[in-house]
Chains A and B, each alone.
Chain A
Amino acid sequence: MSSNKVIVIIDDEFIILESLSIQINLILPANIMLEAASSGEESIQLINELHKNGNELILVISDFNLDDMKGTEVLKHSISLFPKLRKIILTGQADSAIIADFKNEYGLDAIINKPWNFEEIKEIILESVLP
């Protein structure tokens, strides 16, 4: 509606989406919206719509191994619409050349392994909320 600030979380495991969104909502400031998507395609559509409606996407937290694509691809698309976007990759695997490459090229605010320490995420959220 109005120029709301939005955070988007993306993971194909529902238990992750649910637990993480409860976590985030507990510390999220009032004027920030949290949206969730469970596939790459869904997330891209969502982000496009947010952009259309004039929202400001401030942070994307995405799982690396999505069903239909890699999380880095979603991030790439998001950057094209919201260049100042903060980005977090959530992954269950130790390392990946793809993630490293992406970090080198576009920068990542964090690469967080599962199970995650929420403090790290919380910090980045609060930073991103600051005007």
Chain B
Amino acid sequence: MKIFGSISFKIWIYFSSILFISSAIVIYYFPNQQKQSILKYRGNELTELSRTIALGVELSLDVNDFQKLNKSLGYYRNKKSEFDFLVVTQKKSDSEKEEIFSQISDSVKFNFYAIDTSKYLIKSAVFSTQIMNGKVIIGLSKNRVNNEVQKTNLPIYIALVFIFLITVILFYVVARNVSAPINVVIYNAKLLQEEKYELFNIEQKKSTDEISQLQNALINLKDSLLLQKLENKNLLENLEDKITERTENLNLTLLKLKEAQDIAELGYYSFYKNLDRFTFSENLEEKLLIKTSEAKKLEYLKSLIDKEYINEFETNFTKQTTEPFSIEVKTLLPDTITGTFKWFAINGKYYKDKQTETDYLSGTIQEITIRKNAEAELRKLSQAVKNSFNSIIITDLNQKITWINDSVLKLTEYSREEIIGNTPKMFQSSETDLETKKIIRESLIARKSFKTEILNVTKNGNKYWLELYIQPIFSERGVAEGFMAVEIDITERKEKDKLILQYISEIESKQKEIVTANESLEIKVADKTRDLEFSILQIQKSQEEIVKKEKMATLGVLIAGIAHEVNTPLGAIKASVDNLEHLFSLEFVKAINTISLDDLKQVLALYTKLNVLSTPSTIIQRQNAKNLLSIISENYPEIENAFVLSKELSSIGFESMNVDLIALLETSNYANIIKTVKLLLNIQRSLKTINEGAVKSGKIIRALNVYSHGTDQEQQTQFNLKENIDNIITLLSNKIKYHATVKNNIPENILLKGFEDELSQVWTNIINNALQASNNKCNIVIDYKNENNLHFISICNDGPKIPDIIIDKIFDEFFTTKKRGEGTGLGLNIVKSIVEKHHGKINCISNEKNTIFTINLPVTKI
């Protein structure tokens, strides 16, 4: 409220508060003091009075004047103004209770014992007489005292009220002269503030006091304000007009922009990278489902984007170069129209906000889903057309070729430059059917789709047939704007058709020929059969001859080796026979004639001891001779010619010093004894040699006999397989013995039934081939096993590998790897036929390590 805020009030309240507080103190303190004083004074009075009364009572009682007593008391009954009650008590003696003797009070119902002593000022005096002791008690109510006090204080209160009134007057005066004009100033200042100049109601004051000056100042202020206001008003009006105009234009432009953006599905955005904050145009917020401020961050946008495009998007948005970028991204937002996902084209460029010195990215985002889908569609279709195996040509309405796929180039052998701009007539040839051309022409004019076959020619003059599908192409509006031709090369098919017709006619004519031929054929067949039978007989005969020749050839090979093998033992035999002749006729006779009996005994004893059947080898002999020489020279230095002696001793079988040798050397005639012993030994050895030689040569001859015997065998015989093979080994021993080995692992008890000599040829051929191929240096192993009721004989050599390209041919007739004239090439072929004649099979496998021939023959019941 105005009053309470005003200065007057403030002044007044301060002043009056002080006043009141002082008054309050006075009011409280002073009367109270008065009251106390009065109470004290009254108390004293009462006390005096009681004493006086007590005295009176005493006096009365002293004279036993009860009348006087009552009279005095009655006197005081009238003096009720000085007290409220008067009580005289008596006490007859100390031991008795105090009783009321007489009382004086206002109320008849006054009961001394029931009074509230706190409300009364009570004074008493004691009297004691002979008759009666007691008290005189006077009570004065405190209320009466207070009333008195109040009465006394009344002027003070009045004075206070008076003072209060004065303050109120003061208040009024101040209010009127200070607060009121100030309020007026305030009021008018407010009016000025509110520009309600017309309500301004201060008048110029002549007085010079502060308040008037203030008011005058306000009036001046008002005047200048009014002036300014007028000026401003004019200015403002002008501005307002301009702003309105501009705003209208701006709104119009904004509206148009928004419309355009909506049509183009384009929106704009800005991105403050430091704050990770986006702002979008309204249409973008809708499209990108930006509903909260959380959505205006980079992470949210990233989450909308298809993972293939996230990298591109992120790089561009965080790169922060001043170069503008433009990207197209696929999002995960579904597009209901196309049924795919929405695509957006995003442009952006970094700018510097000059005010805040921060960089921000600003640009546009446009939805391009439809375009992208259309592009994809187009891509698919154009690829299909481009890569089509069939030739596709697109022309305008005038049949000028505007587009071809690659297959056309291949088909027509023209180049792209030669074709584009020309019409398809360039592909036609002089042989192209006129009727076909007519159909094409008419259908094109009618703008109808049609199919036909046509003969064209390539640039290089090669003719080809096409199945032609031509259809008009229409624009979006349905207006024909060109033609499309799909061409399938059917040249092959045409040719095949032609061939088929050819064949059919040929077949028909052939059929006729066949019938006639058939008739003459039967006659010819009969003739031929007769001829054939004759030829077969011839062949069989020559085959037999060839086999024989082959066998002879093999035999020839064997014999060369055999000669050597026989000559060697023969040589040894002959020499030994000569030796025996010599030894017996000359030496032996001489020895018998000259030797003494003692010596003879010694000789025989030594001879028996030294009965070495096998002479030690030459190396060992020499070694022994050396040993003996050193022993003899050491122990028997007197012996001359120790060298010759040691040789002799070693030749008869001494190896080193022993008892017999010592005994011998003790004998004086030891030289003679040694000589005689040697003689006997030589005789023995010669005989042995003859035996050995005879056995060896016999073996070979026998083997040869076995081999060549029975070339005319007519019947199958039973024979021992091991012996059969051993035989061959013997026959080939001359080739084998030096650097080759042959091991025959055939068990002793295997019996075969067949043509022994023919099978001999089999082993001979295979083993000989192995030896020849390895220059007689291979190791041959012949193994056997019995399986599935078949004899399996394998001949394995570690000679050179038979090359893969010829191994299938080795059993072929006349196939040989030897030089011309060296071999018939029939060896293995005959081997194969022999094996097959025995109902067996032969095969050969060869690798770097081994070549194995495996022959299996059926086990026949013997």
List chain A positions with a Cβ less than 8 A from chain B. 1, 13-20, 22-23, 26, 33, 35-38, 42, 46, 65, 67, 90, 92-94, 113-116, 118
Q: Chain B residues with Cβ under 8 A from A113's Cβ? A: 567
Partner of A115, one of B570, B579, B617, B682: B570
B563 touching A115, Cβ below 8 Å = no
Q: How far is the CB of A61 from chain B (nearest CB, A)?
A: 12
- CB neighbours of B567 from chain A (8 A): 92, 113-115
Q: A13-B568, A22-B685, A35-B618 are in contact. List 5 more A-B contacts (CB 8 A).
A: A18-B689, A22-B579, A23-B575, A92-B564, A116-B574
Shortest B742–chain A CB gap in Å is 16
Would B564 and A115 count as touching, CB distance under 8 A?
Answer: no
Does B692 lie at the interface of the complex (its beta carbon under 8 Å from any beta carbon of A)?
Answer: yes
Chain A residue nearest to B619 in the complex (CB): A42
Tell me if B124 counts as interface (CB < 8 A to partner A). no
Q: Is the CB of B568 within 8 A of A22?
A: no
Beta-carbon contact of A15 and B693 below 8 Å = yes
Q: Contacts of B647 on A, CB cut-off 8 Å?
A: 33
1/0 per position for B736-766, CB-CB distance to A under 8 A? Answer: 0111000000000000000000000000000
Task: Name the B residues within 8 Å of A1 (CB-CB).
Answer: 643
Whether A114 contacts B568 in the complex (CB less than 8 A), given A1-B643, A19-B579, A20-B575, comes out as yes
Would you call B482 an interface residue if the criterion is a C-beta within 8 Å of the partner chain's C-beta atoms?
no
Instruction: Note all chain B residues with C-beta closer than 8 A to A14.
Output: 615, 617
Instruction: State the Cβ distance, A4 to closest chain B Cβ, in Å.
Output: 8
Known: A19-B572, A22-B682, A23-B575. A93 touches B738 (CB 8 A): no
Other-chain residue from B583, B615, B644 in contact with A18 (beta carbon distance below 8 A) = B615
Interface residues of B (CB under 8 A from A): 560, 563-565, 567-576, 578-579, 582-583, 587, 615, 617-619, 621-622, 643-644, 647, 682, 685-686, 689, 692-693, 737-739
A4 nearest CB neighbor, chain B only: B643
Q: Provide the residues of chain A in CB contact with B689, threshold 8 Å.
A: 15, 18-19
A94 CA to B568 CA, complexed, in Å: 12
B618/A93 in contact, CB under 8 A: no
Known: A115-B571, A116-B574. A92 touches B563 (CB 8 A): yes
| Cβ contact within 8 Å between B575 and A38 | no
The answer, among A16, A33, A37, for a CB contact under 8 Å with B568, is A16
Contact (Cβ within 8 A) B615 A114: no
Nearest CB in chain B to that of A20: its residue: B575
> Smallest distance from the beta carbon of B643 to chain A beta carbons, Å?
5
Partner of B563, one of A23, A42, A46, A94: A94
> Is B618's CB under 8 angstroms from A115's CB?
no
**8 A-B pairs with least C-beta separation:** A114-B571, A19-B575, A115-B571, A92-B564, A92-B567, A15-B572, A115-B574, A114-B567
CB-defined contacts of B582 to chain A, threshold 8 Å: 23, 26
Indicate whether A26 sits within 8 Å of B568 (C-beta atoms), given known contacts A18-B689, A35-B622.
no
Indicate if the CB atoms of B576 and A42 lie closer than 8 Å.
Answer: no
Most chain B C-beta atoms within 10 Å of own C-beta, residue among A17, A35, A42, A92: A92
List chain B residues, Cβ under 8 A from A22: 575-576, 579, 583, 682, 685-686
Q: Which residues of A contact B576 (CB under 8 A)?
A: 15, 19, 22
- Is the CB–CB distance between B583 and A26 below 8 Å? yes
Check A92 against B574 for contact (C-beta < 8 Å): no
Instruction: Write 12 A-B pairs (CB below 8 A) sorted by A numbering.
Output: A1-B643, A15-B576, A18-B572, A18-B685, A19-B575, A22-B576, A26-B587, A33-B647, A67-B739, A115-B567, A115-B573, A116-B571
Q: Which residues of chain A are within 8 angstroms of B579 by Cβ–Cβ distance?
A: 19, 22-23, 26
Closest to A64 in B: B564
B686 touches A38 (CB 8 A): no
| Residue from B571, B583, B618, B619 within 8 A of A16 (CB atoms) | B571
Distance in Å: Cβ of A77 to nearest Cβ of chain B: 18
- Tell me the minimal C-beta distance from A55 to chain B in angstroms: 11
Chain B: minimal CB distance from A74 (Å): 14
Give the residue among A20, A65, A90, A115 with the most B Cβ atoms within 10 A: A115
Provide the residues of chain B in CB contact with A118, threshold 8 Å. 575, 578
By a CB distance below 8 angstroms, the chain B residues around A16 are: 568, 571-572, 575
What CA separation (Å) do A46 and B572 show in the bound complex?
24
Closest chain B CB from A123 CB (angstroms): 15
A15 touches B692 (CB 8 A): yes
Rounded to whole Å, the gap between the CB of A11 and the closest CB of chain B is 9
Is the beta-carbon distance between B738 and A67 smaller than 8 angstroms?
Answer: yes
User: Within the assembled complex, what's the spacing in Å between the Cα atoms of A20 and B692?
Assistant: 15
Question: Distance (Å) between the CB of B676 and the closest chain A CB?
Answer: 15
Q: Which residue of B lies closest to A90 (CB)?
A: B571
* Distance in Å: Cβ of A14 to nearest Cβ of chain B: 7
Whether A36 and B618, one on each chain, are in contact in the complex, defined by CB atoms closer than 8 angstroms, is yes
Chain B proximity of A2: nearest CB distance (Å) = 9
Contact A37 B564 (CB under 8 A): no
* Chain B neighbourhood of A115, CB < 8 A: 567, 570-575
How far apart are A66's CB and chain B's nearest CB, in angstroms? 8
CB A30 to nearest CB in B, in angstroms, measures 8
Residues of A within 8 A of B692 (CB): 15
Q: Are B575 and A93 in contact (CB under 8 A)?
A: no
**List of B residues within 8 angstroms of A65 by Cβ:** 564, 738
Q: Give A69 Cβ to nearest chain B Cβ, in Å.
A: 10
**How far is the CB of A43 from the nearest CB of chain B, in Å?**
9
A122 to chain B, nearest CB (A): 11
Q: Give the docked Cα–Cα distance between A2 and B146 (Å).
A: 191
Cα(A66)–Cα(B228), bound, Å: 152
Q: Is the pair A38, B570 in contact by a Cβ cutoff of 8 Å?
A: no
The closest CB in chain A to the CB of B615 belongs to: A18
Which residue on A lies nearest to B614, using beta carbons?
A14
Minimal beta-carbon separation of B678 from chain A (angstroms): 9
A37 to B693, CA, bound (A): 20
Given known A-B contacts A23-B575, A118-B575, A37 and B618 have beta carbons under 8 A apart: yes
CB <8 Å contact, A23 and B578? yes
Q: How far is the CA of A107 from the CA of B583 in the complex (A)?
A: 34
Are A92 and B571 within 8 A (Cβ)? yes
Q: In the complex, what's the smallest C-beta–C-beta distance from B583 to chain A, in angstroms?
A: 7
Minimal Cβ-Cβ distance residue in B for A30: B644
Q: What is the CB-to-nearest-CB distance from B61 to chain A, in angstroms, rounded to a whole number?
A: 196
Whether B564 pairs with A116 at a CB distance below 8 angstroms is: no
Chain B residue contacts of A35, Cβ below 8 A: 618, 622
CB closest chain-A residue, reference B681? A22
Residue of A nearest to B682 (CB): A22
Q: Considering the complex, give the chain A residue whose CB is closest to the CB of B738.
A: A67
Distance to closest chain A CB from B556 (angstroms): 14
Q: B653 to chain A: closest CB distance in Å?
A: 14
Chain B: CB-nearest residue to A10: B618
Tell me, in angstroms, the Cα distance from A93 to B571 when the chains sit together: 12
**Nearest-Cβ distance from residue B626 to partner chain A, whole angstroms:** 11
Query: Within the complex, what minimum Cβ distance (angstroms) separates B644 from chain A?
Result: 8
The interface residues of chain A lying within 8 Å CB-to-CB of B560 are 93
- Alpha-carbon distance A38/B686, docked complex (angstroms): 18
Question: Is the pair A13, B643 in contact by a Cβ cutoff of 8 Å?
Answer: no
A19–B615 Cα distance when bound, in Å, is: 12
Measured CB to CB, the nearest residue on chain B to A9 is: B618
Chain A residues, CB < 8 A from B583? 22, 26
CA distance A94 to B738 in the complex (A): 18
Report the Cα distance A17→B145, complex, angstroms.
Answer: 191
Q: How far is the CB of B575 from chain A (nearest CB, A)?
A: 4
- Across the interface, which residues of A come within 8 angstroms of B575, CB to CB? 16, 19-20, 22-23, 115-116, 118
Contacts of A42 in B (CB 8 A): 618-619
Complex alpha-carbon distance, A9 and B685, angstroms: 18
Contact for A38 among B564, B618, B682, B693, CB less than 8 A: B618
Residues of chain B contacted by A38 (CB below 8 angstroms): 617-619
- CB-CB under 8 A from B573, the residues of chain A are 115
Closest to B643 in A: A1
B617 — which chain A residues lie within 8 A by C-beta? 14, 38
Residues from chain B with Cβ under 8 Å of A19 in the complex: 571-572, 575-576, 579, 686, 689
Most buried by A among B568, B576, B682: B568
Distance in angstroms from B724 CB to nearest chain A CB is 26
B564 smallest CB distance to A (angstroms): 4
Distance between A91 CB and nearest chain B CB, rounded to angstroms: 8
